[in-house]
Amino acid sequence: MKAFFAALWIGWIGLATAGLIFASQKHVAVVTAAPIILAFLFEYVFYLIPGMEPMQKRLRLRYSNLYLAGGAALSAVAPYLIYSIATHQFRWIGLGIVMALAGVASFWYVLLRRSAVVDIVFLCFAAAPLLARLFEHIYTSPIPQRIDVLGHLMWIRTCAFALIAVGKVDTSGYGFLPSNKNWAIGARHFLYFLPIGFPLAYALGIIRFNPGVISIWKVFGVFFGALWVVALSEEFVFRGLLQPWFEKWTGNPHIALAAASILFGLCHLPYRGFPNWKLALVATVAGVAYGRARSQAGTIQASMVAHAMVVTVWRNVFT
């Protein structure tokens, strides 16, 4: 619990400071920036919970699955209301979609008994809004910058909480601070990908070298943003859930690694014009590196490190 509250206060201070600095640089009025920042601060509280096992245990001891699901569903709607009403972005249809999505996800494992079919359908349901870019149309922005990441954060933690706290799936290392061992394994598998993945992407024409001044702040921002959002959610699904499930079903870790990597690649098809087979191929190769890191470490925290390093180099060195 001390770790949870320490992370909470540190995150609040960091997010509030970053939000105010960003608003000042972009000349966003305080009356507009304040509710957006407040919505992110509220969302951050609940985003922490699935990755903090002591807090989960405390909640499970105190409340039944029904109450946990209800609390998760209600908390998912709050950030949308906080920012949208104050910035005149509120839409009843947007509220209805958020409520419906959060309600179905939160109560999924209250109403349904866990099985292979139930789990797979849940993952498909969880992926659908992201692949369809649904939150771009709901979390509309009163400023030139997009803020639909607020919807992404809500959806990640709502689905993760449903799986971990209510569905009681294996957490597979879902958390925010990798151990030294996981840092080492993740970095090593990033180096394995480096001479294969980036030349392949360059040869396929989906990236080009973009030399220039690299901001240390951008490097750290991209890395930890990728580690705690993109890599956390994607590695939990593909390497934390699907890869072990495939291994259990087939009894073959190599088939499981290949299947999870191919699915990971296929999920990149919609990006930058469907079907983006080139990106899907590179993502599949990356998935192999991430999957091997997970297999060696026994936790997704190693694959998260490798994933975040790839994203950081991709966004800072290439266009």
Number of Cβ atoms within 10 Å of the Cβ of 162: 27
Percent of the chain with pLDDT strictly greater than 70:
100
Q: Is the pLDDT of residue 160 over 90?
A: yes
- pLDDT at 9 > cutoff 90: yes
Give pLDDT, residue 179.
94
Pick the range with the lowest mean pLDDT from 50-54, 73-77, 248-252, 270-274. Answer: 270-274
Strand partners, 209: 318
Question: Is the per-residue pLDDT at 171 higher than 80?
Answer: no
pTM: 0.93
Q: Tens of pLDDT along 80-114?
A: 999 999 999 999 999 999 999 999 999 999 999 99
Average pLDDT for residues 211-223, to the nearest whole number? 83
Going from N- to C-terminal start, the domains of the chain cover 2-166, 180-317
Beta bridge partners of 318: 209
pLDDT at position 308 is: 97
Average pLDDT, integer, range 233-248? 94
pLDDT of residue 172: 79
Cα 32 to chain centroid, rounded: 26
Rounded Cα distance between 303 and 296, Å, is: 10
With 80 as the cut, is the pLDDT of residue 212 above it? no
Mean pLDDT of the 39-57 span: 92
**Residue type for position 297:** A
Cα separation of the two ends of the chain = 42
* Distance, CA of 127 to chain centre: 11
Least confident window among 102-111, 148-157, 167-176, 208-217: 208-217
Per-residue model confidence as pLDDT tens digits over 270-314 = 888 788 999 999 999 999 999 999 999 999 999 999 999 999 999
Compute the average pLDDT of residues 239-246: 94
